[in-house]
Structure 1
């Protein structure tokens, strides 16, 4: 029995060493540094932000304790964006919530909105093909933070294929950020997955986000671009290989968006525990209630 255990251990070590030796990230390509553009004060969201911030105030905030309100806010901002969308997440899952948001973001890009999506690579085994297909859409760029070189189809296989690279791979990006037209941001604890918006059938997180306008939004966007331009970030197409031909990418994305369960239809109560309603009505009226 002891000999059998020893043989299994030696085989596992040999396999790990072999996997670690045979894979590495591709050589990085030179790319121009990108920076946030000055917001266009003529956009719809910019006008609402200005109308919602009293003279002399630097920034306005609204806490969003209710998950469905927080998700709906992202959808509303994506639907109304006219110039840019910035998304930065530790986890962007290929589930009903993830596909709903990505479909809305893709629709914005097809209207001409410039979209940048930055995702930590730790939990992309199930979403990487969806994100790759999305990146082939005009006006959309998708990048991965600190990617794994090999064994990409499974969580454990990624680490098994990189045993000598654990020190680097232990550095992950936990940021959660959504910015529309450079004037409205959503930050907080929620990643993009069913369980962060109390929409999972099995388990859910109780979390908090904040909707923000004003000067702090530029600071948040500056932080995003520090990550976006960093050497730890790679375009997804440099890391992930498509499982379909390029000509089928649009079909592939549409199929992946509609697969499994139907996309959620958000049931929004009249108000949350703070007394706020959904933001859509206030956006339509041209003014948000903020602190």
Structure 2
């Protein structure tokens, strides 16, 4: 880093440190919010359908499960939401059906079609008397001071708070981001990765999805294959308690108290309407269709009822914000629960994670499991380099493939960027229209970036895995936000739902196994042994892997394999594996010059970043 850039960052740090909000500005901002609240309109006409919640068989499941539960025998209804369109409909409908309160947490909240649609429904709920509280991580949660100022004064029933604003501002500029890493690395990296929508304290929805088009099959270029779970019943009480802990935590700040938001409010004396919230703005046909469907409780139930199961015990495990207090590891409730569940595996574990970078504790756990006299089979569904949205993280995973396959006994399947039958609504993405050929990430025209998706050799509706789930012995199913990586263990706050039910576990396993089918994923296995010097190559590769920074051995242990036509899948230890599988290289579909060298460079220099990836 040049001395000039260091000086610039130093000045920025000094300016940011001194940019605290004066008591006068804070009072003026609070007065502006109060004045706007006094003028806010409410929907009180009982004859107006827009002023009443919609009838909802889905929300009613919560009350039914609560009534049927006892302390010793809890009852729940759970809905597995694999498809993005189902997940968006469920959110919008539950917001429309709310009668008392709504709590929403998200790591990312964008102002695209889905984000504005959810926001519009939340504000409508507030106007009809529902208490709405929205808690977003500051880095990527509506980082627009003008929009946040407008939301702060939108209605007295609507409250917005931001988690961990390092520089006490709504927007983090690029230089501030760099300065935050340099000056306050520990604090800056402690993010609220939890995702939750809780309605009337009875029905909660959580999982991997943020509020952004690419999580709901609405992005034209790149969409996530993700998974949520809707839970109706007593587990919602634990969700409410966890939300309250975050809402009242010292790192959660009112939007109007952030410096760039407060100065705007104080200067204008009112919370001015923002153009993104204009009810008269033009809406696409898909937005209008989604709004109409969300208002039809019977149609929503008809769509989601086949995905809904009646079950008994359901646990909600979530980190507390105290995880972000001090330097010591604390309150890693989700990580501890996850490791305990993995350790309880006796015969088979099916795990799905977008980022296969294991913490030291996780590697030790899987190594102990693999050394058992009756070692359980561990299946892992994860991203290929062609599918991932995080290039450096994949490079780090690539470095340890030998360890995963040989020492931990993983059976790895890497997701293809163009899976044959992913649960993605291709028509909803908009990628099949006239604009498809010019989309920035659609097909081979993308230049890629150092951290995002890489360019590919051919075009298509591109998908990246983002689901975080596991199935233990076909008896327990887990869906949550935890990526099973060091960042989830040590830095982010995470949550997960654990369903103790064989029928649910079977359904979840079928969902993950679909993603591991040869038409949707490549099998990862050891390269076919060369006729000479195979032992020497293996030994040198293993030694190179253990170097703390550089991984210089040019002959990787593993490769990707495509099932040959007319063959059935067999495990790598089967004598016919190499006859039935074609070695398609370490990075199939990727269109990068010297791609092996490029990835190796990132692998080498990424080794020191394992704790924060």
> Which TM bucket (shorter chain)?
0.7 to 0.9
Q: Distance in 1 between matches of 2:175 and 2:133?
A: 28
Residue of structure 1 equivalent to 2:277? 254
Aligned CA distance change for structure 1 residues 22 and 143 (closer, same or farther; 3 Å): same
Are 1:145 and 1:173, in contact at CA under 8 Å, matched by a contact in 2? Answer: yes
The Cα offsets for residues 173-203 of structure 1, whole Å up to 9 and x where unpaired, read as: 1000001111111111000000011100111
Are 1:148 and 1:158, in contact at CA under 8 Å, matched by a contact in 2? Answer: no
C-alpha deviation, 1:11, in angstroms: 1.2
Are 1:93 and 1:127, in contact at CA under 8 Å, matched by a contact in 2? Answer: no
Secondary structure at 1:192 match in 2: coil
The Cα offsets for residues 53-109 of structure 1, whole Å up to 9 and x where unpaired, read as: 755443221101111111111111111111100000001111111100000000000
Residue of structure 1 equivalent to 2:203? 184
Secondary structure at 1:190 match in 2: coil
Match of 1:20 among 13, 16, 30: 13
Matched, 1:105 2:122: yes
Aligned CA distance change for structure 1 residues 237 and 257 (closer, same or farther; 3 Å): farther
The Cα offsets for residues 127-155 of structure 1, whole Å up to 9 and x where unpaired, read as: 44323322212211111110031686454
Residue of structure 1 equivalent to 2:287? 264
Aligned CA distance change for structure 1 residues 160 and 259 (closer, same or farther; 3 Å): farther
Match of 1:231 among 238, 244, 250: 250
Q: Distance in 2 between matches of 1:241 and 1:156?
A: 18
The Cα offsets for residues 218-262 of structure 1, whole Å up to 9 and x where unpaired, read as: 101111111111111111111142657354523545349947978
TM-score (norm 1): 0.77
Secondary structure at 1:264 match in 2: helix
Secondary structure at 1:79 match in 2: helix
Q: Which moved more, 1:70-79 or 1:240-249?
A: 240-249
Matched, 1:157 2:175: yes
Residue of structure 2 equivalent to 1:143? 161
- Compare CA radii of gyration and give the structure with the larger one: 2
Q: Distance in 2 between matches of 1:103 and 1:154?
A: 25
> Which segments of 5 or more consecutive residues in structure 1 lack a partner in the other structure?
1-7, 30-42, 269-277
Aligned length in residues: 262
Residue of structure 2 equivalent to 1:89? 106
> Which segments of 5 or more consecutive residues in structure 2 lack a partner in the other structure?
27-54, 311-613
The Cα offsets for residues 200-224 of structure 1, whole Å up to 9 and x where unpaired, read as: 0111110001111111001011111
Are 2:62 and 2:232, in contact at CA under 8 Å, matched by a contact in 1? Answer: yes
Q: Distance in 2 between matches of 1:126 and 1:94?
A: 9
TM-score (norm 2): 0.39
Which has the bigger relative contact order, CA under 8 A and spacing at least 6?
Answer: 1
Q: Distance in 2 between matches of 1:228 and 1:151?
A: 18
State the Cα RMSD in Å.
3.5
C-alpha deviation, 1:122, in angstroms: 1.2
